Amino acid sequence: MKRLSIKTWAIDDRPREKLLQKGKTVLSDAELIAILIGSGNRSESAVELSKRILQSVSNNLNQLSKLSFEQLQEFKGIGEAKATSIITALELGKRRHYEKGQEFKKITSSTNAYKLMQPVIGDLQHEEFWVLYLNNANVVLLKHQISKGGLNATLVDVRLLFKKAIELRSVGIILCHNHPSGKLKPSSSDLSLTDKIKKAGAILDVKVLDHLIITEKAYFSFADEGIL
């Protein structure tokens, strides 16, 4: 059966026209993606193709953002250019969320620190270790990546960590790393590393205020759990 082109649809049903006439909020996720890719394939309109792509990730945009170029191109009608458009748009959305998180400049709770760092490392497929350097008013002076590792671990050079603290004249730090596995329980290496950093900080008069283990949807705070 021959499919109908989007151009033959009623004006109100065309994604681009709907966007112009009614605004962005009335469009579904599939319609927004359809605008990005511009066209479908011989058997599907851009909207139908977009719906199928979304269905493959249970209509979860966060899961969609994790699809690679190769995975997107497995869908008939999605070539390199269209895959690039989808990945670029989702990355911009992630960065917007990250910038919104930067509004939490003063850390008054573990939740503030989590909201600041979750957009940065929460959905990564590898481990990264970051440090928030704070002044005596608990205002963030710098967010700094200390190391980047594999699926289950990352090496941390404690000397470099405190070198940056001294340069910034930071009086407090919050340690942050992610668990791609989604597990929140700290490992034995997490505990020993935290203790090592805490002892070094005591000598240099830089207090370790917290250590957060961050996943896509939650976090674990050493301070809140009383094990710091």
Joined tokens for residue 156 = 């941390």
Asked if residue 93 lies in contact with residue 137, where contact means CB atoms within 8 angstroms, the answer is no
Q: Which pLDDT score is estimated for 18?
A: 83
User: 116, 180, 173, 187: which is closest to 148 by C-alpha?
Assistant: 180
What residues are paired with 174 via a beta bridge?
Answer: 132, 210
Q: What is the CB neighbour count within 10 angstroms for residue 80?
A: 10
Q: Report the DSSP beta bridge partners of residue 17.
A: none
Q: What is the pLDDT of residue 150?
A: 61
Which pLDDT belongs to residue 21? 82
Q: What is the pLDDT of residue 72?
A: 93
Per-residue model confidence (pLDDT) at position 5: 58
Distance in angstroms (rounded) separating the CA atoms of residues 79 and 123: 25
pTM, entire model: 0.60
Give me the tens of pLDDT residue by residue for the chain, a chain 228 residues long.
455 555 655 544 588 888 888 888 888 899 999 999 988 898 888 899 999 999 999 998 888 988 889 999 999 999 999 999 999 988 888 777 666 555 557 899 999 999 999 988 998 888 999 999 999 999 999 999 998 876 555 688 999 999 999 999 999 999 999 999 889 999 999 999 999 999 999 999 999 999 999 998 899 999 999 998
Query: In this predicted structure, what is the pLDDT of residue 99?
Result: 62
State the pLDDT at residue 23. 82
Strands 140-148 and 172-178: unpaired
DSSP secondary structure letters along the chain = -PPPPGGGS-GGG-HHHHHHHH-GGGS-HHHHHHHHH----SSS-HHHHHHHHHHTTTT-HHHHTT--HHHHTTSTT--HHHHHHHHHHHHHHHHHHHHHHTT--B--SHHHHHHHHHHHHTT-SS-EEEEEEE-TT-BEEEEEEEEE--SS-----HHHHHHHHHHHT-SEEEEEEE-TT---SPPHHHHHHHHHHHHHHHHHT-EEEEEEEE-SS-EEETTTTT--
**Calpha distance 35→18 (Å, rounded):** 11
Provide the pLDDT for residue 137. 92
Instruction: Please report the pLDDT score of residue 3 as a whole number.
Output: 53
pLDDT score recorded for residue 207: 97
Q: Position of tokens 């704070």?
A: 134
